[in-house]
Amino acid sequence: MKTTGIAFAALALAFASTIAAAQTAKDLVGTWKNVKNTNTTADGKTTDVFGAKGTGMAIFTSDGHFTIVNLDPMTPKFAANVRNKGTAEENKAAVVGGIGLYGTYTVANKVLMMKMEGSTYPNWTGTEQKRDITKYGKNEFTWTLTNSLGGKGEVTWQRIK
């Protein structure tokens, strides 16, 4: 019985360290693949922000820079096959179907602060944004945010090895 209690305590400690939030920017350094990106509206409806096959990549450097690109790979191609010749409908689908951003970042007290130097969503350029790191493991982490869609976002990243 005593051995079981010790084993349980060790397992609980290991589990707790797996879900502990990132404490420093060093914890995020690397390349990450987006595996979940959802938006929950005030009425409780949850949707995949970039569709059922949404994808993305985040790179956090050791000198405090980041770049993130998320997209819906099912976004329709432009009929003209020229980026600046999209129809109004094609342009809208492209904006809804992806976002890119870059800048600098810090991590403290389970909070990721991002200074947006640039974004494909112009309202974010020049702003500082907060992401609450709700789960952190060496190879996966999750943040929550009030996102650009007007709801609560939850985004999960897996380390690319």
CA–CA dist 47, 38 (Å, integer): 5
Q: Is the pLDDT of residue 9 over 70?
A: no
Q: Is the pLDDT of residue 13 over 70?
A: no
Q: Please tell me what DSSP assigns to residue 9.
A: H
Contact 152, 40 (CB under 8 A): yes
Structure tokens at 22: 């990132």
pLDDT at residue 144 in the model: 95
Q: Is the pLDDT of residue 112 over 70?
A: yes
Domains and CATH numbers, the chain: 21-159 (2.40.128.280)
Mean pLDDT of the chain: 88
pLDDT at residue 17 in the model: 41
Enumerate the H helices of the chain as residue ranges.
Answer: 2-19, 88-96
pLDDT in tens, 46-105: 999 999 999 999 999 999 999 999 999 999 999 999 999 999 999 999 999 999 999 999
Short-list 150, 149, 143, CA closest to 60: 143
